[in-house]
Amino acid sequence: MTRRIKFRIKKVWEAVALVSLELVLVFIAFVISLSVLIVVIREIFYNKDFSVDEQVFEYMQHHVTDTNTAIMQGASFMGSRLVLVPAWLLLVVVFYFIEKNKWYVIKVITISLSTLLLMLGLKYFFNRPRPLIPLLKQVPGLSFPSGHAFMSFVFYGMLVYIVYIEVKSKWVKAFLFFLLTVITFSIGLSRVYLRVHYASDVIAGFCFGLLSLIILLWLLRRIEKYNEKVIAPSVNTTQAEHKSVL
């Protein structure tokens, strides 16, 4: 009996420690992203210092080959609306019709639409033109933050969140984490390589994406808990009373 109690206490303590570690890591990631974002905005828009962007372009120029260009075009495509829009819709279909999980449907729709509106608003607010000499062709639109970096970080970050919650195998989880991380950062790298974005655009896009994802997931989780504790019990009680009257 004593061993069983000790075993249960140990399991509870391990779970608490794991949750605490997760919160600490998320908090650290949030603070680092916010700090980096502040530095980037200050250097680009207040100090007008573009030296880092220019150095990155110069470094990339030494690695331009036909093979690298083809690879970077493929990576860039993974962060385009031609991929992300159907991918978001596919998540909605899977969670609505297959998994029957309404909260994931709400999360997917809320995060995809709100981050899209935020990204467009930020672009028009900062109003930074794109680089003048792209590697292949001129791309319309504004430059800061990178929409590819922003939206791909949100989407693939959402997949990381889903994998973390739903996948039980540690090896599968680690592999998917690695794969999604490589895809995300390859997309950002491709935008700089193709010279349709500055490095600062991509860094800002990643930072905005991470901050948005953390805040939105936290808010949605709070709403979900409130629904489970307050709204759902009230609705169930009302329905039960109605049935008893009938």
Q: At residue 233, does pLDDT exceed 70?
A: no
How would CATH label the architecture of 49-229? Up-down Bundle (1.20)
Residue with tokens 């809320």: 110
Q: Would you kindly state where each structural domain of the chain is located, as residue ranges?
A: 49-229
- Pick from 131, 181, 144: which is nearest to 45 by CA? 144
pLDDT band at 10 (very low <50, low <70, confident <90, very high): very low
**DSSP secondary structure, 126-194, as one string:** H-PPPPSS-SS----S--SS-HHHHHHHHHHHHHHHHHHHH---HHHHHHHHHHHHHHHHHHHHHHHHT
Claim: this prediction has a pTM higher than 0.95: no
Per cent of the chain over pLDDT 70 is 84
Dump pLDDT digits (tens) for 93-116.
999 998 888 889 999 999 999 999
> Is pLDDT of 90 > 50?
yes
Task: Tell whether the torsion through CA atoms of 36, 143, 61 and 154 is positive or negative.
Answer: positive
Residues 225, 227: Cα–Cα separation, whole Å: 5
- Confidence at residue 65, expressed as pLDDT on a 0 to 100 scale: 93
Higher-confidence residue of 134 and 4: namely 134
Alpha-carbon distance of 157 to 208, in angstroms, equals 12
Place of tokens 């990631």: 29
Instruction: Please state the rounded mean pLDDT for residues 5-19.
Output: 47
Q: Contact 125/116 with Cβ under 8 angstroms?
A: no
